[in-house]
Amino acid sequence: MLLLTSSKSRFHLILFLCLSANLLFARNPIRAKHGMVVSAEKYATKVGVNILKMGGNAVDAAVAVGFALAVTYPAAGNIGGGGFLVLYDKNKNATTLDFREKAPLKSHSKMFLDSLGNFVPELSQNGWQSSGVPGTVAGLCYALQKYGTMTLAEVIQPAIDLAENGFLLDYHSSKSINTSNKDFNKYEASKKIFTENGKELTEGRLFIQTDLANTLKLIRDNGADDFYNGSIASKIVEESDRHGGIFSLEDFSSYKVIEREPIIGSYKGYKIISMGPPSSGGICLVQALNVLENFNFTKNDWNSSNYLHKIIETCKYVYADRAEHLGDSDFVNVPVDKLISKDYAKEIFNSINENAVPSKEISSNILLKKESEETTHFSVADKFGNAVSLTYTLNSSYGNKIVVDGLGFLLNNEMDDFSSKPGEPNQYGLLGSYANSIEPQKRMLSSMTPTIILQDDKPIMIIGTPGGATIITQVMQTILNVAEFGMDIEDAVFVPRIHHQWLPDEVYYEPFGLSDDVIKNLSQKGHKFGKPRRLGLMEGISIDQSNKLFYGASDPRGTGKAMGF
Ligand code: DON
């Protein structure tokens, strides 16, 4: 037994214990003076930081990260999918870019129904017809041309190098690819790249993607034009024709990035800038925060049953409105102003009481099912004062698992984000109405919520996540963790979260996320619980504007990386 004879040695022991405890438990955000990049994959993050170091701005870096992730994070990084970018620039201008996929001209509202009119999810999630016309290449090139300072050749080259020279597949990347081994084996072109003659890829191998490198070189040399009007478009349409797809050359030549006004809201003095339709993200986020703003929470309320009850009840109303009203606002009338108004939030606030209101009493009928996981978010901030929040996706992990032969990239299965049959859930269990039904050229409703938070008109937080239907509630809680509870960005992305999406009428929660006491209290109020599951993969930045310091945190639920300089 250790005998501590002097008070000095006792002091040293206590100091030692405190320090080691600190080392064991401290989760300090990455800190930097000149800029920060946080993405779901380390090589891509490094590409972004190098661009910042070369003097590029946040848009240059974001575009470089977007192309790099298409190589190093094929589960969700893409040039065959689409997404949304939210920009707040050094001159205090906020804008958003919509490069969401759109339904092909030959699509129609009944394309995923069988002869009896039943929805066939197999069709909206698999095969060539599950793909929308990709928007990523147009979106990244538009962003660079309008808001960047570097050339396309400069920002795309790191991605080309990663594809051409390869990168080492670590444990996580090989495991992720191998999870879809069976699906990749269904398609010759996918099998060639994502399997070793049909077998699983080994950890530690150099992963070279020559076809993808060549496609990226065509984009480098000819710009987005090659993808939409040139050899890439022709090849995609040729392959689509060969495999029962419905893409036409006109689908590609008519694709346009749409620059849209952001959704702007506020929460207790913070300004929220987020994505509007065809994403539901910004509207639902602002609507929920407007309701929650009416409650007075104390620091000790965090994840208490009292706090969670209020979040859950709020989300039921928000997701019921989402299902009923939201769709592509270029095709349907979305009552944006009403949904994000403080008055409407007050009405919802007034209907929340101490007990859970069953979801079926909040709005119409309907039934649901499960969700899958893949999309990716990255956040970038530069020393000039620009901030970029970008979420893009193939929808499911590796999209529909179909590589376009000879081009080396995967296609999305975003058509499943439409409401193929009003009242039938999609793969995220999300319901929709006619507002989100399939129409040629329409963009499918999304939940992606790339967001920037301002204080005194300066960006203090850049945040986003994948997670399908759960994206909105995860972003909301991470914002509350900072704005309401004063957490630093690392804690804010780390701590457990919950989710409720109106239907199914159950609370999703994380393993080790809720104590038995809290579950018991919430159950007594009438809440029901699903199985625990992990929620979200936040990639966040906070900025201390007084000291001009950037803090970055990549969600420990994933294997991403925050890096600054
Ligand atoms: O746009 C959407 O809302 C979905 N396609 C996002 C998919 C997603 O987040 C999957 N990831 N975890």
User: How many angstroms is it from 562 CA to the middle of ligand 1?
Assistant: 22
Q: Mean pLDDT for the chain?
A: 93
**222, two tokens:** 């000819």
Residue at 15 is within a domain: no
User: How many angstroms is it from 94 CA to the middle of ligand 1?
Assistant: 24
Residue at 525 is within a domain: yes
* 115-160 per-position pLDDT tens digit: 999 999 999 999 999 999 999 999 999 999 999 999 999 999 999 9
* 161-213 per-position pLDDT tens digit: 999 999 999 999 999 999 999 999 999 999 999 999 999 999 999 999 999 99
**pLDDT at residue 24 tops 50:** no
Helix (H, G, I), strand (E, B) or coil at 190: helix
| pTM beyond 0.85, yes or no | yes
User: How many angstroms is it from 494 CA to the middle of ligand 1?
Assistant: 20
96 is catalytic: no
* 438-485 per-position pLDDT tens digit: 999 999 999 999 999 999 999 999 999 999 999 999 999 999 999 999
- State whether 163 and 303 are in the same domain: no
**379, two tokens:** 């956040």
- State whether 88 and 126 are in the same domain: yes
Domain count along the chain: 2
Domain limits for position 220 = 32-259+381-417
507 vs 55, 291, 471, 530, 565, CA distance in Å? 46, 19, 15, 6, 40
Residue at 17 is within a domain: no
Average pLDDT over residues 414-428: 86
- State whether 351 and 489 are in the same domain: yes
* 173-182 per-position pLDDT tens digit: 999 999 999 9
Helix (H, G, I), strand (E, B) or coil at 112: coil
Helix 152-165 and helix 136-147: axis angle, to 10°? Answer: 140
**pLDDT at residue 319 tops 80:** yes
Tell whether ligand 1 has an atom less than 6 A from the beta carbon of residue 209: no
- State whether 394 and 327 are in the same domain: no
Residue at 493 is within a domain: yes
Count of C-beta atoms within a 10 Å radius of residue 254 = 13
**Residue identifier of the C-alpha nearest atom 1 of ligand 1:** 446
Residue at 285 is within a domain: yes
- Taking the C-alpha atoms of residue 505 and residue 98, their distance in angstroms, rounded to an integer, is 31
Tell whether ligand 1 has an atom less than 6 A from the beta carbon of residue 374: yes
Tell whether ligand 1 has an atom less than 6 A from the beta carbon of residue 131: no
Tell whether ligand 1 has an atom less than 6 A from the beta carbon of residue 447: yes
- State whether 294 and 401 are in the same domain: no
Helix (H, G, I), strand (E, B) or coil at 557: coil
- State whether 133 and 247 are in the same domain: yes
* 323-344 per-position pLDDT tens digit: 989 999 999 999 999 999 999 9
Residue 339's pLDDT is what? 97
Residue at 425 is within a domain: no
Residue at 237 is within a domain: yes
- Side chain identity at 473, as an amino acid letter? T
Tell whether ligand 1 has an atom less than 6 A from the beta carbon of residue 101: no
For every residue of 238-268, DSSP letters joined together read: HHHHHTT----HHHHHT---EEEPPEEEEET
Instruction: Check if the beta carbon of residue 465 is closer than 8 Å to that of residue 475.
Output: yes
- State whether 385 and 361 are in the same domain: no
Instruction: Check if the beta carbon of residue 300 is closer than 8 Å to that of residue 330.
Output: no
- State whether 250 and 286 are in the same domain: no
- State whether 252 and 270 are in the same domain: no
Residue 464's pLDDT is what? 98
Average pLDDT over residues 301-310: 98
**418, two tokens:** 């439409």
Residue at 429 is within a domain: no
CATH, residue 334? 1.10.246.130
- State whether 317 and 245 are in the same domain: no
- State whether 248 and 302 are in the same domain: no
- State whether 255 and 268 are in the same domain: no
Average pLDDT over residues 485-505: 97
- Taking the C-alpha atoms of residue 227 and residue 215, their distance in angstroms, rounded to an integer, is 9
User: How many angstroms is it from 28 CA to the middle of ligand 1?
Assistant: 29
Residue 373's pLDDT is what? 53
For every residue of 297-347, DSSP letters joined together read: --GGGTT-HHHHHHHHHHHHHHHHHHHHH-S-TTTS---HHHHT-HHHHHH
